[in-house]
């Protein structure tokens, strides 16, 4: 069974209507209800992190594969989503593409508005060949997040306006 995950995190400039929601207005009170912080959906706990096999991920990713893991229709929808939701700040946007590869699926018109795209993944050669990373002078960040599930010492997370994580695949 394959599980696909797509995540997009807008870190610095999240519109209020995405970060918070208010309960529906009550007919018995004229005082507005306070905003309620939404909890993430589908939070993974340690029991959910078992792998289907015991092989090290570093072995699987030791050779570059240069493949995409979805069909063209999905990639078009993803590219359209990025176009709609990524910040548009006149070449000042800095993006971290987690679990990336040789392609980040960013639309061409958005790529020209990005200051830098750093790519994280498991294969150095794939990440170095990522065209949007090359075009923006982004950094290549290699780390097995199963072995070390932290970005500490790898990058300064506070500098990113958006973090992308597309098509993380878990086979079981």
Tens-digit pLDDT profile for residues 106-123: 988 777 788 999 999 999
Q: What is the pLDDT of residues 36-58, one digit of tens each?
A: 555 555 555 555 556 667 788 77
Q: Given pLDDT bands bounded at 50, 70 and 90, which one contains residue 10?
A: very low
**Is residue 140 within 8 Å of 123, Cβ to Cβ?**
no
CA dihedral 142→147→152→155, nearest 10 degrees, is 10
* 3-state percent breakdown (helix, strand, coil) of the chain, nearest 5: 25, 25, 50
Residues 6+ apart with CB under 8 A from 41: none
What is the value of pTM for the model shown? Answer: 0.70
């Amino acid at each position: 069974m394959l599980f696909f995950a797509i995540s997009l995190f807008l870190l610095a400039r999240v519109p209020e209507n995405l970060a918070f929601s208010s309960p529906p207005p009550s007919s018995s009170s004229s005082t507005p209800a306070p905003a309620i912080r939404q909890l993430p959906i589908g939070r993974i706990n340690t029991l959910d992190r078992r792998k289907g096999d015991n092989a090290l991920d570093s072995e699987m990713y030791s050779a570059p594969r240069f493949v995409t893991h979805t069909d063209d229709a999905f990639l078009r929808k993803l590219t359209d989503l990025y176009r709609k939701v990524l910040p548009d700040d006149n070449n000042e946007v800095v993006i971290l593409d987690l679990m990336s590869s040789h392609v980040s699926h960013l639309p061409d018109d958005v790529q020209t508005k990005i200051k830098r795209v750093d790519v994280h993944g498991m294969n150095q050669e794939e990440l170095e060949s990522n065209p949007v990373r090359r075009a923006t002078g982004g950094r290549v960040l290699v780390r097995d997040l199963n072995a070390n599930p932290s970005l500490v010492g790898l990058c300064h997370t506070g500098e990113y306006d958006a973090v992308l994580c597309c098509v993380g695949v878990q086979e079981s």
